[in-house]
Structure 1
Amino acid sequence: MKQILLFPTLALLAGCTQQAGENAPAEVSRSGESRLAAELADYRQTGEALSCVNSRDLQGNRSVGEEAIIFEGTGRRIYVNRPAAGCPSLSGGRALRIRTPSTRFCRGDIVSVFDPVSGIDYGSCGLGDFTPYKRNSR
């Protein structure tokens, strides 16, 4: 099994704080969704969600809260991945470690979020489908 490390190209500094009460998870989710919508404002979806993408077609990644991971692709393309149960945020210089038996990242592959300097592990999650987007022409 291969381990591939992906360091974020851009660490988002905005953090989420969870408030006490039953509405807190829904508020965090809405906040993450609005941040994702802002990230995708200059992009358009270019096809159906893919179960796998080639790792050589990816150049970096960043998270949008715990709801989504944006993988930077080649040629003005990005892939949005929404782990079903969420995933720890990549903020603060954290990176992804992906365990995969191939050169492709696929739905169900396990990713760990960790600090590459200290080695502290912040948790892991299973990847979802990869939805392709392309930057709009200007």
Structure 2
Amino acid sequence: MRALVLGTIAALLATGAASAKKPEIPVGTPDGEAVSCIPLNQIRNTRVRSDKVIDFYMTGNRVYRNELPYECSSLGFEERFLYKTSLSQLCSTDTITVLHTPPAVQGPTCGLGKFQPIKLEKR
């Protein structure tokens, strides 16, 4: 009985370690020159890949990868952020703020990098 319990605990720990492993960032091949700004009205959705990488999915199946100049603490864990801009574009001079849950409390504010158009590797 003791061996069964220890085996079960070991299996649970292994499962926890596997699920705690950070997902890999999909390979993105550059597809043109990096730009400083992207139009807000063309952003369909975003995918936070890590504390430093966000993919912006645009209309027309275009994807821009933004690699932040510095890691933004808890961005990869929360996978939620907000931005404020008075322009019709989101630019590398803008910042994002991580949203913690629950409740939606604002976390660190971090600067964006340039927006690199990419083609994502098909899986």
Shared fold, TM over 0.5: yes
Q: Residue in 1 aligned with 2:51?
A: 66
Gaps of 5+ in 2: 1-18
Cα deviation for residue 111 of structure 1 reads: 0.6
Choose which of 35, 42, 45 in structure 1 pairs with 2:30: 45
Cα deviation for residue 45 of structure 1 reads: 2.1
Is the aligned partner of 1:131 residue 2:116? yes
Is the aligned partner of 1:85 residue 2:76? no
> What is the RMSD of the two structures over their aligned residues, measured on CA atoms?
2.6
Distance in 2 of aligned mates of 1:129 and 1:52: 7
Is the aligned partner of 1:112 residue 2:97? yes
Aligned partners of 2:93 and 2:112 also within 8 Å: yes
Aligned partners of 2:96 and 2:111 also within 8 Å: yes
Q: 1:60 to 1:14 in 2, by over 3 A?
A: farther
Q: Which has the higher helix share?
A: 2
Aligned partners of 1:68 and 1:87 also within 8 Å: no
Identity rate of aligned residues, in percent? 25
Aligned partners of 2:83 and 2:96 also within 8 Å: yes
Cα deviation for residue 105 of structure 1 reads: 0.3
Aligned partners of 1:57 and 1:74 also within 8 Å: yes
Whichever of the two has the greater Rg, that structure is 2
Q: 1:45 to 1:133 in 2, by over 3 A?
A: same
Opposite residue 131 of structure 1, the aligned amino acid is Q
TM-score by length of 2: 0.69
Distance in 1 of aligned mates of 2:43 and 2:32: 17
SS in 2 for 1:56: helix
